[in-house]
Amino acid sequence: GTGTRRVFVFGDMTGLGAVEGDRPREVAALARELGVPEIYPVGERAAAACQDIPPIPGDRLAKHVARRLRGERDAVVLVKGSHDVGLDALVEDLLQASSAST
């Protein structure tokens, strides 16, 4: 919604077959087109698709995003990537950080 802070954690997407090479660029472009102000790539393909955004190491990413969202009431965090990228752990860390701040 209007005024809602939007964050996109964008991980590599594997197992897509022939479209696997193009998909990360398409997803990154769409996020920018939609005006998502904060995009955090995770993995080689996602980082290549977001060339102008330096990746944050996975062990620090959850803390970084949680710190950026501290005090936000209407934040939306979209996490997209293949399971083998390990974003499940990031989601758990974000949920714990969110619970601790409320």
Confidence class for position 75, pLDDT limits 50, 70, 90: confident
Whole-prediction pTM: 0.83
CA–CA dist 55, 46 (Å, integer): 9
pLDDT attached to residue 5: 85
pLDDT attached to residue 18: 64
pLDDT of 3 higher than 80: no
pLDDT attached to residue 8: 94
